[in-house]
Structure formats: structure tokens, C-alpha cells
Amino acid sequence: MSVRIEYGLAAKTFLQGGAYRIGRVLACSELSVVYAARETGTGAACVVKEFFPKSLALRDVDGKSVLCRTPSLRSKYETLKSVFLNEAVILEHLRHPNIVRLTGHMEENGTAYLILERCRGMSLERCIRKNRLRSKSRFYATTVPGLLDALEYIHEQGVLHRDVKPSNIIVGPDGQAKLLDFGSAVRSQSEDKPIFTSAGYSPLEFYSAASRQGPFSDLYSTGATLYYCLCGEAPVEASRRLFHDPVEQGLRKRGGRATPLLSRRIMNCLSMDAGQRGSLQRLRTAIKAESLLWKAVEGLRANFRPGRKNSSPTNEAPSGKKKDLVKSDV
């Protein structure tokens, strides 16, 4: 899927002396534009993420260079560029199968670029919105544990992601999750924690640079992500929950067939009190139980489907080969 914007680089634009050829726009935010691209030397697919703060920047007439709108905004522009490049500083030290891989970064044309691996699949947000998941048992057995593995790994490395949400998770054809967008990530011990929030997915402590943040903060966002998977919408923003908290009621009404154990663990994660959020391990136990339950349910559905004999389990093709977990758009 491509995105049309007026200020992005044109297709077939070359960067770093012709090393990379830009393709279509994949996504854009207030601070960046993300493109499908290729390494011209090898033809390998990659992703280029360009620093382009919309409120501060303009595209020059050459179609490549980025200009700061006014001299008075230059200091803010450079500060945000440093924050943007911090993603490269963090990612270049992370190596995990469930985390997007950085392959390079550079500064040219008055801006900065990150070169990232191209992940096959679809965002978790789109998977849920378009009902593209074939098997709940494989989702709970493969996708969610992969996300938890990634978070456990970065926390061991002393990193907080701070922006875990469905649109920042790619689900591959094999069901494995890839955690993307470390633009808000910081070192756990860093005293400088800029305020970046995502409505519904950020805990209350993300709304203050002076508040205590830790792995429990990412746990809140993980619980909010699972809430979205069950309810089809994000929980109410944390700042609004201080006076009226409809989250638990929403989970009961829209949470589908989630077991009481998983529902309870999600609500633990979404606690306004960071000390009550539990741990990744406790959440992992509930996810394991959920996967076993759905494996049994899907097996029964396959074996007792009316009018069919010798049905294969829902996550296998008739030949016995596993189907892709995510339904293709093609």
C-alpha cells in the first residue's frame, strides 16, 4: 500500500551518490517520510526513512534538498534531527529476529536518512482492521510471543521502546512479529526522555519528561495493543482515565472470547499504577494458555465442519503445509 503526499521525494530519486533508489511512499508522520527503496548495487529491497518535520521544513526546488522554513526555527530543527538520528544509534546495537534491522544511516540534502530492512507482511493494525489473521491459535502461539521476546531483549539491553502499538508491529506471512519505529526509544538510564505520546497506547508517565519510566511503561503499551486486537480500538487515553475509566467495561463488552485470565492480565498491564502492571512473564503465561485454548477450538471446528470429511486444521493447507498466517491483499 502506498501513500500520496506532495512533499515526499519523487520515485526514482537517487540518494548517497546513487547507492539507493527511492520508490513509493509507504507512510508519513509529523517528523518523517518512509519510502520503499532498493540498493542499486544489489537490487535488494530496503526502506528509507527521511527526516522531514512538516511544521519546520520545506522541499527545495531541486526536489531533494530539505530547507528549514525560517532561521528562527533552525535550532528546533537541528534538535529534532538529533532525536531522529538517535534511532540509528539505538538500532545499530540491537540484533534480534523480531526487531527491524538497521543497515545504514546518512546525512545529506540538509536532512538525515535511516536505511532499514524491508519487512514482508502487514502491520498488526491493518491485520486486525481488515480481519486478515487466519488463525487465532497461531497468533497467540507465534505473533504475540515474538513481540514479547523483542521487548524482553531490548529491556535487557537497557532500552525502552516507548511507542509499542499495532501500527509499529509488522506481522510476517509466517506469523512472526517485527517491532518497528524506535524513534521514541531511549536508554533506560537516560535522564533526557523527550515527550512523545500515542493516544491510547502511552501510559500516564509518558506525558511528563520528569516522570519515572521503565519496562513497565512498555508493558502498558503492550496491554493497550492487545486490547486493540480484542476490541478493534485503542483504550481511552491515559490522561482521560484519571476521572472516568471505561477501559475494563470496554474490554468486557468488546473483548470477544478472551479468557478471564488474559483479560485480567491485560487490565493489569493497563493499570494506571505502574507497580500493579505485572511482568512480561506473567503476560506470557496467559498468552500461552490462550494459544492452547484456540488450538483446541480450531481443531474441533476443522474436524466437525458440516459436509466435510478429513478436514485439515485451519492453519494448514490440504497438503499439510502451513498456510501463511496473514491473508494476502493480492
CATH number of the domain that residue 57 is part of: 3.30.200.20
Q: What is the pLDDT of residue 46?
A: 97
Residue among 294, 240, 292, 290 at smallest CA distance from 266: 290
Task: Identify whether residues 184 and 220 lie together within a single domain.
Answer: yes
Task: Identify whether residues 161 and 271 lie together within a single domain.
Answer: yes
Which of 16-20, 129-133, 135-139, 162-166 shows the lowest per-residue confidence on average (mean pLDDT)?
129-133
**Read out DSSP for 41-89?**
TT--EEEEEEE--TTTEEE-TTSS-EEES-GGGHHHHHHHHHHHHHHHH
Q: How far apart are CA 237 and CA 249, in angstroms?
A: 15
Is the pLDDT at 317 greater than 60, yes or no? no
The mean of the pLDDT values for the chain is 90
Structural domains counted in the chain: 2
Task: Identify whether residues 227 and 182 lie together within a single domain.
Answer: yes
Task: Identify whether residues 62 and 144 lie together within a single domain.
Answer: no
Q: How far apart are CA 263 and CA 156, in angstroms?
A: 27
Is the pLDDT at 84 greater than 80, yes or no? yes
Task: Identify whether residues 57 and 103 lie together within a single domain.
Answer: yes
Would 315 be classed as within a structural domain? no
Which of 115-119, 206-210, 211-215, 236-240 shows the lowest per-residue confidence on average (mean pLDDT)?
206-210
Domain harbouring 264, CATH code: 1.10.510.10
Grade residue 330 by pLDDT with cuts at 50, 70 and 90: very low
Q: How far apart are CA 275 and CA 260, in angstroms?
A: 21
Q: How many residues does the chain have?
A: 330
CA angle 176, 161, 197 (to 5 degrees): 115
Q: What is the pLDDT of residue 258?
A: 86
Would 1 be classed as within a structural domain? no
CA end-to-end span of the chain = 11
Strand 57-59 versus strand 45-51 pairing type: unpaired
Task: Identify whether residues 276 and 149 lie together within a single domain.
Answer: yes
Question: Which of 59, 86, 117 is the last residue in one of the domains?
Answer: 117
Task: Identify whether residues 158 and 92 lie together within a single domain.
Answer: no
Task: Identify whether residues 146 and 99 lie together within a single domain.
Answer: no
Q: What is the pLDDT of residue 323?
A: 62
What is the percent of the chain where pLDDT is above 70?
Answer: 90
Q: What is the pLDDT of residue 67?
A: 96
pLDDT tens string 107-161: 999 999 999 999 999 999 999 999 888 899 999 999 999 999 999 999 999 999 9
- Order of strands across the sheet that contains 14-15: 14-15, 20-28, 32-39, 45-51, 111-117, 102-108
> Which domain does 75 fall in, by range?
14-117
Question: Which of 117, 147, 172 is the last residue in one of the domains?
Answer: 117
CA angle 26, 326, 253 (to 5 degrees): 100
Spatial neighbors of 79 by CB under 8 A, at least 6 apart, are: none
Task: Identify whether residues 180 and 279 lie together within a single domain.
Answer: yes
Contact 38, 46 (CB under 8 A): yes
Would 2 be classed as within a structural domain? no
Would 173 be classed as within a structural domain? yes
Q: What is the pLDDT of residue 191?
A: 76
Task: Identify whether residues 99 and 74 lie together within a single domain.
Answer: yes
Task: Identify whether residues 177 and 262 lie together within a single domain.
Answer: yes
